[in-house]
Amino acid sequence: MNLSGLPLRADTFPAVFAMHPPKPLGLDEACLTFPDQDPWVCFNKYVRGFFAHRNRLSRDIAGIEFGNFRTDKPLSLHDVTEEELEKMISFEMYKTHDMGTLIMPPEVFTSINRRALFDVEMTKYLPKLKISFLCGTEGAGEFIYIVHELERCLKEGPSAVFGEGAERARDFQVTYLERGNHFVFWDEPCWALEQMKECVEG
């Protein structure tokens, strides 16, 4: 099996979603595109927003909200000043621990993530490794969809999602939180940590 140099097809999600699952059929891609004039402002709100999904666990994209976040609920980090927020996402912050995600070609980053789960040869490294995915169900639809696809890997096999070469290598578990978005550990740290503890120890 060789997932290195894995080609990224046009029908996969963009590089920010490290596993590059196939895009949902029928998805209006306009909801994944930020206006050219100020993409950071849009992304800033988008990733901190709360989404009102019609049926977040249905595994039908018609039940998941991909574009519009709620306006009746404050964004995560709403109590942080603009100056503090800029420091949190600055290049200086990233280079302390996440430099690889900035300089690594998307194809390599995706290959590493996929091989961690779907390459039998990799299981000889850290053979007792446990992998869990926690999904805040008020986050953006893309994240919920990706976790749905990972669950499908467990039920139907990784090749059903990622194509030839992906094989069942490691088991992992998926936990859907009853609430919370991408920043649930910031918004409700004690509750979120308790959920993570139950997931890890369960």
The domain total for the chain is 1
* Amino acid, res. 129: L
Domain that holds residue 87: 29-201
Evaluate the CA torsion angle 104, 108, 111, 116 in order and state its sign: negative
Q: Is the pLDDT of residue 184 over 90?
A: yes
The C-alpha atoms of residue 61 and residue 202 are separated, in whole angstroms, by 29
Residue 133 falls inside a structural domain = yes
Residue 173 falls inside a structural domain = yes
Contact yes or no for 52/70 (Cβ under 8 A): yes
Q: Which residues, other chains included, contact 112 with Cβ-Cβ below 8 Å and sequence gap of 6+? A: none
H helices within 119-173, ranges in order?
Answer: 141-156, 159-162
Residue 19 falls inside a structural domain = no
Residue 86 falls inside a structural domain = yes
Residue 17 falls inside a structural domain = no
Residues above pLDDT 90, as percent of the chain = 20
Question: Which pLDDT band, with edges at 50, 70 and 90, does 116 fall under?
Answer: confident
What pLDDT score was predicted for residue 11? Answer: 44
What pLDDT score was predicted for residue 28? Answer: 57
Among 69, 200, 56, residue whose Cα is nearest residue 137: 56
pTM above 0.85, yes or no: no
The C-alpha atoms of residue 84 and residue 77 are separated, in whole angstroms, by 10
Interval 20-31 mean pLDDT: 59
Q: Which residue has the higher pLDDT, 163 or 23?
A: 163
Question: Which pLDDT band, with edges at 50, 70 and 90, does 83 fall under?
Answer: confident
Residue 16 falls inside a structural domain = no
Residue 21 falls inside a structural domain = no
Interval 66-93 mean pLDDT: 84
Q: Which residue has the higher pLDDT, 39 or 162?
A: 162
Quick one: DSSP state of residue 74?
P
From residue 35, alpha-carbon distances to 32, 39, 142, 184 in Å are 10, 6, 18, 26
Question: Which pLDDT band, with edges at 50, 70 and 90, does 1 fall under?
Answer: very low
Q: Is the pLDDT of residue 40 over 80?
A: no
Q: Is the pLDDT of residue 93 over 80?
A: no
Residue 22 falls inside a structural domain = no
- The tokens describing 175, both together, are 């936990």
Q: Is the pLDDT of residue 7 over 50?
A: no
